Amino acid sequence: MAPYLDAFVPAFGLLALGALLRRRLLPEEAVWAGIERLIFWVLLPALLVAAIGSVRLGELPVLGMLAAIWAALALGTALSVWLARAQRQPHASMTSVLMGGIRFNNLIGFAVAGAMFGLPGIALGAVATGLIVPFVQVVTTTAFALGGAGRVRPLAVLRQVAMNPLILGCAAGFLVAALGGLPLGVKPLVETLGRASVALGLLAVGAALSARALRDRLGLQLWTAALKLLVMPGVTLLLCLALGLGALPTAMAVLFMALPTAATSYVMARAMGGDGPLMAAITTSEHALSVLTLPLWLLLVQAVHPGAAA
C-alpha cells in the first residue's frame, strides 16, 4: 500500500494545490498560460530526451508496445465517434468526445511511473508517449479539419504532427540513446529541466480544472470517462498479455492508456472550433474519476503480471 500512497497522493495532491492556487494566489490566466507554454515547449521535451536517451534501444519492446497501444487507440477512436453519434451530438461536440476518449495527461503518468518504478518506468513511459502522441495528433487534427469548410490536407496534418514538441523530444531522445547518451554536464542539466516538468505540469493541470463544468451533459461525460478510464486500458492490457509483453512494459502501456485526457484539450477545442464547455466538463470529470481508476489498474496489472510489482 505504501508505494501506491507515495505515488498517487503527491500526484493528485499537486492537482488539488494547483486548483487552490488558481483560486487564491495566482488567479491571472496569463500566469498559467506562460507556465503551460514553458512546460510544453521546454520542460516536457527535456524529460523525454533524458528518459529515452538513458536506455539501451535494443532492450526496448517498441514494436510490441506499438501494436498494443495503436490497436487500442484505433478502437477508442471508433467508439468515441460512435458514442457521439449515438448521443446525437454535432461535429464540434464529437471532437470533444474524441479527445476525451483518446488523448492523455502524460504528466500524471510520469509522476506515477517515476514514483513506483523509477527511471526504467519513466523511460518506458516516454516510449509510450512517443507512440501515443503521433496517433492521437493525426486523428484529432483530421477530425477538426473534417468539420471545417475546406478539405483535409495530409501534408499540413503531417507537418503539425512533426513539429509537435513531444514528438521532437522523443525523436531527440532516441537519437541520443543511439549515440550513447547525453554528454557530461549536459545530462544533469536536461534531467533537472525534465524533473521540473512534473510538479509544475500537475499544478498547471489542477489550475485548469473547473468544478462548475461538471453540470454540462453529465451522461455523456460519464460514458466518455468509462471509455477512456476503463475500456481503453482494459483493451491495452489484454493486447499486452496476448503479445507476451514483459511486466514493466505492460504496466507502462496500461498506465499511460488509463490516464485522463490532457488538460490542453480544452485549449485545443476552443482554438479549433470544438465544443469548449463539453471539453472542460469531460476533462474535469475524467481527472476526478481517475483518482479511483488509476490505482486499480496498476493493482490489476500486478495481479495478472506479478513481475510488475514496484
Strands (E) in 192-236, as ranges, are none
Cα separations in angstroms, 105 against 99, 145, 181 = 11, 23, 27
Of 239, 201, 225, nearest in space to 70 by CA: 239
Which residues, in sequence order, are CB contacts of 227 under 8 Å at separation 6+? 76, 79, 80, 83, 100, 101
Residue in the structure block whose three cell numbers are 481503453: 232
Cα end-to-end span (Å), the chain: 11
Of 130, 126, 131, nearest in space to 109 by CA: 126
Cα separations in angstroms, 78 against 66, 71, 139 = 18, 11, 11
Range of the domain at 214: 2-308
Indicate the burial class of 91 (C-beta count within 10 angstroms; 0-12, 13-18, 19 or more): middle
**Cell numbers placing 136:** 492521437
pLDDT value for 84? 93
pLDDT value for 310? 55
Q: What is the dihedral of CA 105, 106, 107, 109, to 10 degrees?
A: 110
pLDDT value for 1? 61
pLDDT value for 299? 92
181: left (phi over 0), alpha (psi -120 to 50) or beta: left
Of 110, 89, 106, 75, nearest in space to 227 by CA: 75
pLDDT value for 210? 73
Burial 100-135 (b: 16+ CB within 10 A, else e): bbbbbbbbbbbbbbbbbbeebbbbbbbbbbbbbbbb
Number of domains into which the chain is organized: 1
Mean pLDDT by 10 residues, the chain (310 residues): 72 86 88 86 88 77 93 97 93 92 90 89 88 88 72 72 80 87 89 87 80 76 95 97 93 96 78 79 89 93 75
CATH of the domain at 167: 1.20.1530
Of 250, 197, 217, nearest in space to 49 by CA: 197
Phi and psi at 275, nearest 5°, equal -95, 95
**Does the model's pTM come out above 0.95?**
no
Query: In this structure, which amino acid lies at residue 300?
Result: L
pLDDT value for 159? 78
d(CA 100, CA 282) in angstroms, rounded, equals 6
pLDDT value for 143? 85
pLDDT value for 142? 84
pLDDT value for 148? 60
